[in-house]
Structure 1
Amino acid sequence: MYVESITLLTKEYNEYTVITPKVLDIVKRSGVQNGTVTVLTKHTTTGVTVNEALECLESDIENFLGRLIPEDYPYSHARMLRDYGSTAGNPTGHLKAMLTGNHCHFPVIDGEMVRGGAQEIYFCEFDGPAHRTINVIIQEEK
Structure 2
Amino acid sequence: MIRAALALLLAFLAMPVLAQDTMPPAPYAYNQLDDPRLEAEATELMHSLRCLKCQSQSIADSDAPMAGDMRHQVRSRILAGESPDQIRSWLIARYGDYVSYEPEVSATTWPLFAVPVLVILIVAGVLLRRLGKRRGDGGEAA
Structure 2-normalised TM-score? 0.27
Q: Which has the higher contact order (CA 8 A, sep 6+)?
A: 1
Compare CA radii of gyration and give the structure with the larger one.
2
- Higher helix proportion, which one? 2
- Higher strand proportion, which one? 1
